[in-house]
């Protein structure tokens, strides 16, 4: 059975080029092309893809918002961002909204086909350049904040790193990617952080840290 793919891009010539590349693989079938997030959601009501290749900057509904809407309505669909923009805010927003990966449009044809297959298989797709962007963003935090949280709750060095990232709004996937951890290991650290904070969910953990740092 072929992997069903939808391409979402507001530039038709790019969509056609991507479609041509994907059509060279016997494992993939492009079942639709949409011009923005809203158009994609409308078309998915009739034919739900396995993987969506989604641009970021589009009219009506951009890629970040569309990712969240697609994942809410179709949780099993893999959303793979394919764009020219490598701004860390875009990357983190897309991943936090449920994207399974983030690719730049300078990717080669064979690599794009492999990325779609790997996304369908459940992998997180983050090229080295994108992973570095996430890592650099994660490092842009206050050393004072880290020290205060570590002292207040007895966090280990790694727990402190992850606690700060939680505080900054990072979700499990970008935390794991930035720190070169598996998502399972990342979840284990987060569970240990919850125990030390005396909380059982992310919202309460962030609130507890904010209360501590505001003193």
Same domain, 152 and 120: no
Encoded tokens for 151: 């002292």
Same domain, 116 and 155: no
Mean pLDDT of 123-145: 73
CATH number of the domain to which 15 belongs: 3.40.50.2300
135 in any annotated domain? no
Same domain, 61 and 8: yes
160 in any annotated domain? yes
Same domain, 120 and 173: no
Identify which of 181, 140, 133, 131 has the alpha carbon closest to the alpha carbon of residue 158: 181
- The shares of helix, strand and coil residues in the chain, as percent rounded to the nearest 5, are 55, 15, 30
Same domain, 58 and 110: yes
Higher per-residue confidence, 215 vs 123: 123
Query: Is the per-residue pLDDT at 140 higher than 90?
Result: no
pLDDT digits (tens, 9 = 90+) for 147-185: 888 889 999 989 998 998 898 888 888 888 878 888 899
Taking the CA atoms of 73, 124, 58 and 86 in sequence, report the sign of the dihedral they define: positive
Q: Could you give the percent of the chain with pLDDT greater than 70?
A: 96
Same domain, 96 and 181: no
Q: Tell which of 102, 127, 152 closes a domain.
A: 127
Long-range contacts of residues 193-202, Cβ cutoff 8 Å, at least 24 apart: 193/153, 193/155, 193/159, 193/162, 193/163, 193/166, 196/153, 196/154, 196/155, 196/159, 197/153, 202/166
Encoded tokens for 88: 């860390």
Give me the domain span that covers residue 159. Answer: 141-213
What strands lie across the sheet with 3-8, from one edge to the other?
Answer: 28-34, 3-8, 51-54, 78-83, 101-104
The residues near 121 (Cβ < 8 Å, ≥ 6 apart) are: none
Neighbours of 134 (CB within 10 A): 24
pLDDT at 108: 93
Query: Is the per-residue pLDDT at 72 higher than 90?
Result: yes
Same domain, 150 and 110: no
Same domain, 191 and 86: no
pLDDT at 121: 94
132 in any annotated domain? no
pTM: predicted TM-score of the whole model, two decimal places: 0.68
Same domain, 119 and 146: no
Query: Is the per-residue pLDDT at 144 higher than 90?
Result: no
The span from the CA of 8 to the CA of 185, in Å, is: 33
Of 38-42, 85-89, 207-211, the poorest mean pLDDT is in: 85-89
Of 53-57, 75-79, 100-104, 164-168, the poorest mean pLDDT is in: 164-168
Residue with tokens 């909204």: 97
CATH number of the domain to which 193 belongs: 1.10.10.10
Same domain, 151 and 187: yes
């Amino acid at each position: 059975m072929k992997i069903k793919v939808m391409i979402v891009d507001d530039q038709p010539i790019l969509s056609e080029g991507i479609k041509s590349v994907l059509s060279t693989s016997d494992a993939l079938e492009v079942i639709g092309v949409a011009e923005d997030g809203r158009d994609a959601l409308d078309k998915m009501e009739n034919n739900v893809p396995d993987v969506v290749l989604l641009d970021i900057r589009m009219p009506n509904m951009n890629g970040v918002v569309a990712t969240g809407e697609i994942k809410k309505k179709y949780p099993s669909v893999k959303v793979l961002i394919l764009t020219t923009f490598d701004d860390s805010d875009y990357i983190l927003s897309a991943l936090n909204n449920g994207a399974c990966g983030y690719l730049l449009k300078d990717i080669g044809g064979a690599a794009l086909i492999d990325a779609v297959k790997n996304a369908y298989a459940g992998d997180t797709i983050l090229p080295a350049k994108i992973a570095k962007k996430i890592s650099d963003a994660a490092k842009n935090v206050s050393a004072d904040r880290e020290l205060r949280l570590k002292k207040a709750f007895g966090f280990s060095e790694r727990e402190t790193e992850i606690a700060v990232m939680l505080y900054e709004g990072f979700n499990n996937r970008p935390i794991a990617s930035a720190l070169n951890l598996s998502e399972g290991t990342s979840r284990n650290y987060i569970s240990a952080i919850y125990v030390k904070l005396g909380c059982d969910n992310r919202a309460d953990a962030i609130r507890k840290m904010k209360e501590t740092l505001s003193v």
